[in-house]
Amino acid sequence: MSELVISHGQDSIPVDGAAELEQQLGFIADQAEADATPVYVNITTADQRRTLTIGLGASTYSALIWYDDDTAERLTSKGTIQAPDNAGFLCPEGWTPIHHDAAIPEADARQAARELAEHGHRPALAWKRPEYGHPQRLDPADPRFI
């Protein structure tokens, strides 16, 4: 796979391959945990057409967001674990709550990042369309209702 770019805060870090990506994500996760401030990090392909956003540093949960400009996909990880009510990550725009039912173990999120580095396409895990607000209160006619 070709080079990826990690965007974290004001930093853009080029990485080449899964091992280098894992090392950089480890540094960022360790710092986020030490600061008690989980963060969202973007991993973008060299052609800037696909981005995996990964939550790091929460220790008990993570979440993923997938963007693919070629297919217009906008997906979130399909949750496999329960996250705290205040679950979220800091990104440049501020604190961002995770999407409803999107929490997964951080190990699964990091494996997805490795898959992107190795293959360059959407990682093979369960995905869903993002849900905003309180899905249980949505009208079934609402396009956000799944």
**Pairwise CA distance, residues 21 & 72, whole Å:** 25
Q: β-strands 64-68, 39-45: how paired?
A: unpaired
| 46-50, 59-63, 117-121, 140-144, range with the lowest pLDDT | 140-144
**Pairwise CA distance, residues 108 & 126, whole Å:** 11
Residues 116, 110 contacting (CB under 8 angstroms): no
Residue 133 pLDDT more than 70? no
Residues 123, 115 contacting (CB under 8 angstroms): yes
Using alpha carbons only, give the angle 129, 42, 26 rounded to the nearest 5 degrees.
115
Beta bridge pairs of residue 89:
96
Residue 1 pLDDT more than 50? no
Residue 143 pLDDT more than 60? no
Q: Within the chain, how many helices (H) and strands (E) appear?
A: 2, 9
> Of 51, 127, 65, 60, which Cα lies nearest the Cα of 96?
65
pLDDT of residue 131: 66
pLDDT of residue 2: 56
- Which two three-digit tokens encode residue 117? 């580095």
Torsion of CA 61, 22, 33, 59, to 10 degrees: 20
Residue 96 pLDDT more than 70? yes
H-helix or E-strand containing 95? Answer: strand 94-97
Q: How many CA atoms lie within 13 A of 80 on its CB side?
A: 13
pLDDT of residue 18: 94
pLDDT of residue 34: 96
**What pLDDT digit, counting tens, does each position of 76-95 carry?**
999 999 988 889 999 988 99
